[in-house]
Structure formats: structure tokens, C-alpha cells
Amino acid sequence: MQTDILVIGSGIAGLTYALKVAKDCPDKKVTIFTKTISDETNTKYAQGGIAGVWNKENDSFEKHIEDTLISGDGLCNEGIVEIVVKEGVDRIREIIKWGARFDKEPDGDYALGKEGGHSEFRVLHHKDITGQELERALLEAIKSQPNIEVITHCFVVDIITQHHLGYLVTKSTPDIECFGVYALNLRTKKIDKVLASITLLATGGNGQVYRTTTNPAIATGDGVAMAYRAKGRIENMEFIQFHPTALYEPGLRGQAFLITEAVRGDGGILRNSEGEAFMVRYDERKDLAPRDIVARAIDSEMKKTGTEQVWLDCTHMDKEKFVHHFPNIYDKCLSIGIDITKNMIPVAPAAHYSCGGIKTDEWGRTSINHLYAAGECASTGLHGANRLASNSLLEAMVFAHRAYMDTVKKINNGLNGEWGRWNRQFIPDWRTEGTTAPKEMILITQSLKELQLLMSDYVGIVRTNTRLERAMRRLDLLHEETEELYKATEISPQLCQLRNMITVGYLIVKSAIFRHESRGLHYNTDYPVKSDLLQNIVL
């Protein structure tokens, strides 16, 4: 199979990029791969909203930039922050033109929310399903573009680079090229060679590496793992954001229901098992402190009291307003017997967002030629050591737009001329000789449980050198066992995802071991203070 532009992932980054390239280059074929249905993405589960300086009477670009830099704890790229904040408002206006609906006040102005770390009300939202609304609008817009093809149930196994042609590729190789991907068609059960002039990775996050996460089952870090295997640069993987307030349901493993930070923005109060509003002891911003501070505070309270959750108190809030702003949260709580007007909501931190990822420049370009990355799988320099709430959807749209601009520039400059050194006709098909039908699914599921357990226990909110070293030893064994299985068994999505998650786990632990300080989302009790040296960990 051949296409001009290949997009891996159908979240806000992938769809925005695909739509823009298709409109600007109607003679080019744009293909979108997604491993399940088209709207099952991390974007869909983004409850809170999208941040942007909308009301300049009370807000300013400078304030949004400053809030982002404070949350990033010294590691944000200030130039990138300025780009995202200043260009982001135009991207929001654009998606509104494409049909996205945001909540409005009775006078017709957009209703702006405030979340932890923000100094002003600047978060646009659609009830408590903002991401789902943006996904809907983009998918509707995609349908009107005849040169876009969306292929569902297609699992990308690996990026094709010149080492598939027999050339040696090393970390020091300055000009690694991406020629497309090998992809497993889940309907035909065959691995296809897919050649493309340009490939964009928009594969989302990696929350499934942990036992409990707000991410859907598809968030297995595929893009990061594939880029790393292809010798691409990966950055700051130790910064895993744990959302402070996932709904606590005893015995749950996998995706937890998110209680958006906007609930605290509207007045929700965190309380411990004694009923104490404890955040006043941890930060002067109390319940609206940045997520890393709130998550560590909750972790500390749970360890002090020996409980597995704290409480989010909304009983004092106006019911009609709560139901209007957070209808899905209200219904979910009611479905498990929690009436928010009478009962506090049990919450606990859960893996939520990866601030690191595939290292990109200001145009979304990775260290591999013809390969872009955008969205959560990319490390753009915006988030630094900790993401400011509701900046992620903004970042995805800004860098999807910038990658699109750079792509069009390449196309207009005669993209195919850059391919002179390599002849695509010699790229081999996927080799399946010597493999057998998968017989040991129990090995895959058990290894996945082991991975999620060790990452949650040893590489969670609070870390130590001993925990990290133990995690690395366990990961080494899991990697060895899984690679043996991978070489001997027919490819399956479950095996590929396990392999990718072990790789991501390794990158998180390796980066955490290299960081000899506590900063942002990385807190190591053996290095409790910040280093004077500002350093990005690049693998």
C-alpha cells in the first residue's frame, strides 16, 4: 500500500493535521490509521477543557505564559510556551469554525473555567466532555474531505527506516529516514507494508503502563516505543502526571473514571478520612495548586491514614449548577450510589498524562527525517516537568498546525527529490518465517499485570533509588521474556502492546534514574531538592 501522507492516530492532533493537509493539498492522498474505532482516543476522555486567553480585559498572554512556566518547574522551553499561548487562540477559533461547541453564559459570551495552576478564568469547555465534543467536530469535518481515508482496526507494528534495507542505523546516524510503517490489519490478520512520503505519529499517551489510569485501553505508548526502536530521540519520560482525582472504585484495574479538576475550580474541597480540608497545609493555593502538588499531598494523606482514597466534598455546591456543568460526573456517581449533594466522592490519584515523549522541534519534526509527532506522544518543550491543566488540547492543535505548515512547505519544494538516496522498491515485506500461531496468551496477560504492578509500586508518585533499581531489574527480565516470545510467535496486538509498554516502562525508569533531583512530577526521596542544573533527559 502507498499513500502520500500517513497519520497514525485519530485524536485531536492527528485529525487536525490530516484535515489541514488534505484541504491544502487536494491532489495528495491522506491516510489515517487507528487501532480501534475512529473516536476511541485520549482526546475523547479529556473532560476539563482547553485553555486560551479569551478575555483580554482580565487575562493576558503574559499571565498564561507565566502560569505555564510555573507549572513546568523550570524545564519549559520559553520560546515554545510563547508560541503555543499566542497561536493557540487562533487554533481555538478555527475548531469553532469547524463546528465545535463550547458552553456559553446567558449573555452569549463563552463560559470560562479556572483550573489548578491558572491565575485567571480562561478554560473553554463543553460540559464535562470537552474532548468528546472536539473529536465529534473533527470527525464530521473529516468526512467532507474526499482525499482522506480513515482505516480503523489497523495496528502499526513498527516504523520503516533504512535499517530495513540492510543499512546500519545507530544513535549517531544524523539522517535516519522514515519510509512508512508495517501495520497489522486486524481484519485480515496480515502485516502490510505501508509506504508514505510523510508520516505523523499522533498515538496519544501511555497510561496503561500503570495499574490504574484515566486513559483508555488504547493508551499503550506505541508511538514512543516505535520511535525509540527506530533510533529516534526520546525526552523527559520520567515526568508522568498523576491526576489527583480519579474516582476510587475498590478493586478496579485499568481505566478509572476521571473527576475533572474543574470540579475543584468550581469549589470542590479535598478532605482526608478525618474530614479535614488538608490542602491548606501543602500549598497556599489549596485545592487549586498544580496537579503534582495536589497528587503528592493526597498520596501523603493516604499513607498517613492507611486509606486508599481521600474525599472530594461537593455537598455545599449548588446542585443545579453542578448538574449543568458536570452531567456525566453526576450520573456516574449516582450510578454507584453517590449523591453528590449528600455524599462526598471517593478519589485517588491515577496515571493521567505523559509530559515527555518523542522529542520534536518547533515544527513538530522528530530526529527522524519525514517523521513528525504531535499530541501527547510528543515532547515539544511546552510542559517541562509538569503540565498545566487544559494546555494539552491546545498544544495538540498548535503543533498539528505547525507540522501541517512544514509538510506543505516540503511538498511545494518537491518532497520526492529528497528520496534520491533510497529506493523504496527495495523495502522488504514483513517476514513471518519461523513463527508459530500464538498459544501462550496467559504469558502475555500475566506479563502485563506484572508490568503494571511494578510501575505502580516502584515508579509512581513518590520514588526512591532502590525502587527504581528494582523496577529496572524486573523490566529487564520482562523484556527478555517478551522478546523471545515476539520472535517465535505470530504477531498479535496484545503482544505488540505488551512489547511497547515494556519499552515505555524502561524509558520512564531509565530517565528517572538519570534525574538526580526532585522536580515537577518526578519526586525522589533520595534526591529531595532541585538541582541548580536545568537538564532535559534525552535517550
Which residues are known catalytic residues?
291
Q: Angle 347-498-149 (CA atoms, 0-180°, nearest 5)?
A: 95
Alpha carbons 178 and 158: distance in angstroms, whole number: 11
Residues 92, 13: Cα–Cα separation, whole Å: 13
The neighbouring-strand residues paired with 80 are none
Cell readout for 16 is: 487536525
Q: Three-state secondary structure along 274-339? A: CCCCHHHHCCCCHHHCCHHHHHHHHHHHHHHHCCCCEEEECCCCCHHHHHHHCHHHHHHHHHCCCC
Going by C-alpha positions, the residue among 205, 348, 340 that lies closest to residue 263 is: 340
Nearest to 29 by CA among 160, 183, 143, 198: 198
Q: How crowded is the C-beta side of 246, counted as CA atoms within 13 Å?
A: 28
Grid cell 473514571 in the structure block, residue: 257
State residue 193 phi and psi, 5-degree precision: -90, 120
| Residue 171 exposed, middle or buried by CB count within 10 Å (0-12, 13-18, 19+) | exposed
269: which 3 cell numbers?
474541597
C-alpha cell of residue 236? 523527559
